[in-house]
Structure 1
Amino acid sequence: MTDTTKASAGPSKLDRLEKLLTRKNGATIAEMMKATDWQQHSVRGAMAGALKKRGLSITSEKVDGVRRYRAEKKA
């Protein structure tokens, strides 16, 4: 794969997860699964591993029975 091919492919799935999680309202597991085409365990694994390595602090909150995840850059 050449650099031009990779550049034209658009944002990676981890980039999409990061974008969803840094929104004001964050994201649900279902929203993240739809955006990445991953299964639930893969989304959770990415949050616990790769996104934390990117320097994100991930929190969750349950509102009206729905768990939402948010991420912030660590200081």
Structure 2
Amino acid sequence: MTTLKAPTKIDGVIDLLHRDCGATLIELVDATGWLPHTTRAALSGLRKKGHPISKYLRDGVTAYQITAVGI
């Protein structure tokens, strides 16, 4: 018997970061319910796990995005 694992908040963060426009800190906080410092710590944890996260300005606000790894 196989049981499916329910998606976690970090799975939701990864999904948001994969969008073409990425996600701002506010969007990530709203999606998870975490405090901003917890959300930034999660981004650092994802980087440590090998996710290539880039940072850029979108409408004057910092946005984060998982970028494709070049070969």
**Matched residue of 2:7: which SS?**
coil
TM (normalized to structure 2)? 0.81
Percent of aligned pairs sharing the same letter: 38
TM-score in terms of structure 1 length? 0.77
Structure 1 position 35, deviation (Å): 0.7
Higher helix share: 1
> Runs of 5+ in structure 2 lacking a partner?
none
Which runs of at least 4 in structure 1 moved beyond 4 Å after TM superposition?
Answer: none
Unaligned runs of 5+ in 1: none
Cα distance in 2 for residues equivalent to 1:41 and 1:28:
13
What is aligned with 1:35? 31
Question: Could you say what the CA RMSD is over the residues aligned between the two structures, in angstroms?
Answer: 1.9
Tell me the residue number matched to 1:56.
51
